[in-house]
Amino acid sequence: PHSPAAVPLALEAAHECLTNWVAEALRRRTVPFVVGGGNDQSYPNASALLDHCARTGRSMGCVNIDAHLDVRPALPGGRPHSGSPFRLLLEDARFRPVRFCEFAAQGAQCAADHVRYVRAAGGEIVWLS
């Protein structure tokens, strides 16, 4: 498939394009490798993979390697942003059982409410500091 970055798009349209691109790559039995962009792109990638897993009878896990947990609530109207992708994933009914790890999180970068949220959702946190 062609790169979804070929034409400038609004955020929501870019997310839809990326989801479709990853889904097409998976249908072709290739491994999509997405480089660049913000963390807001993590959920569109995972969404396509979750659909693929549902069609093929598989499941997935996720590791976020980052100092931040990125589980802030979406913006009004459910709009995603760079701080919300893993909350969206954890709240997605297709992501069951939850196999999620926040790796290399840094304590000074993570709100206590977000730590509690990840743990309550069944995720694990491996602290860097």
What is the pLDDT, as a whole number, of residue 9?
81
What is the pLDDT, as a whole number, of residue 2?
52
What is the pLDDT, as a whole number, of residue 3?
57
Question: What is each CA distance from 28 to 24, 32, 49, 58, 89, in whole angstroms?
Answer: 6, 10, 13, 16, 24
Task: Count the alpha carbons within 13 Å of 15 in the hemisphere toward its beta carbon.
Answer: 16
User: Helices 11-27 and 42-56: crossing angle, nearest 10°?
Assistant: 30
What is the pLDDT, as a whole number, of residue 85?
96
Q: Which 3-state string (H, E, C) describes 84-99?
A: CHHHHHHCCCCCCCCC
For each successive 10 residues of the chain (129 residues), what is the average pLDDT?
64 92 96 85 94 95 95 93 96 96 96 98 95
Residue 127 near residue 107 (C-beta atoms within 8 A): yes
In 3D, which of 59, 119, 56, 124 has the Cα closest to residue 93? 59
What is the pLDDT, as a whole number, of residue 125?
98
* Residue 126 DSSP SS3: strand
What is the pLDDT, as a whole number, of residue 36?
75
